[in-house]
Amino acid sequence: MLTFNQIRALGILGAIAPVAYIIAVVLGGFLWPGYSHYSETVSTLTSAGAPNQEILVPLFTIYNIFVILLALGLYYGVEDKKPLWSSTLLAVAGIGGLALFPFPQDYPQGPPVTFTGTMHVAVAGIIAIVSLAAMVAFGLQLRRNPRWTSYARFSVIMLPIAIVLGAFGAISITTPYAGLAERLSIGSILFWVEILSIGLITRQSKR
């Protein structure tokens, strides 16, 4: 059992997670001359042979670890019935993000041609599906919790947005605007994580 302050601390780490992700992406593009946020995917920044991995991989690692800790905070921080499925799915998404690092995307960007590149695409797809499932679970499990009803509704609202943007990112992978499409998709997940983190922080403060 965690104390209120410990749960709030996990919420703060969850709020830092999207910030760490954004910093990694922006910094990676800045340090790589010629890299295009518009046309190149985020995974290209840590693809096989990409520069600056010693800086970017730790930042992306922080994001995934903090997402896992946020899942723990949500499990213990929600009163009454614990959101077991949504917390578990969110943690799995973070674990999946860590599992991407042994399987870097093939470079140059395009259809995977190696085993590691294929595994990268497969794991990334699983992370996307699990993240969407976490939204569904959170919306369903907490819709009757008076302290979390607004966040359950927020999850329901974000779900179709994330699905549409995710589909747009998937079908745009071979287009000149692949980077933009992917960032919109990832951005919807980051925004959801940030709002849930803020919810966990504020509710522990009120308690």
Does residue 207 carry a pLDDT above 70?
Answer: no
Number of structural domains found in the chain: 1
> How remote is the C-alpha of 194 from its chain's centroid?
10
Q: What is the pLDDT of residue 16?
A: 98
Cα angle 88, 100, 154 (rounded to 5 degrees) comes to: 40
pLDDT-derived band at 2 (thresholds 50, 70, 90) equals confident
Q: Which of 164, 167, 158, 190 is nearest to 94 (CA)?
A: 190
CA–CA distance, 104 with 119 (Å, rounded to integer): 8
Looking at residue 124, its pLDDT comes to 95
Domain span at residue 165?
A: 4-205
Cβ-Cβ contacts under 8 Å for 171 (sequence gap 6 or more) = none
Model confidence at 193, pLDDT cuts 50, 70, 90, reads: very high
pLDDT of residue 112: 84
Specify the pLDDT at position 204.
Answer: 72
Confidence bin at 144 (pLDDT 50/70/90)? confident
- List, for residues 92-119, the tens digit of each pLDDT value: 999 999 999 999 999 877 778 899 999 9
Work out the percent of the chain whose per-residue pLDDT is above 90.
83
Q: ∠ at Cα 97 (31, 118), nearest 5°?
A: 90
Position with higher pLDDT, 48 vs 183? 183
Please report the pLDDT score of residue 89 as a whole number.
97
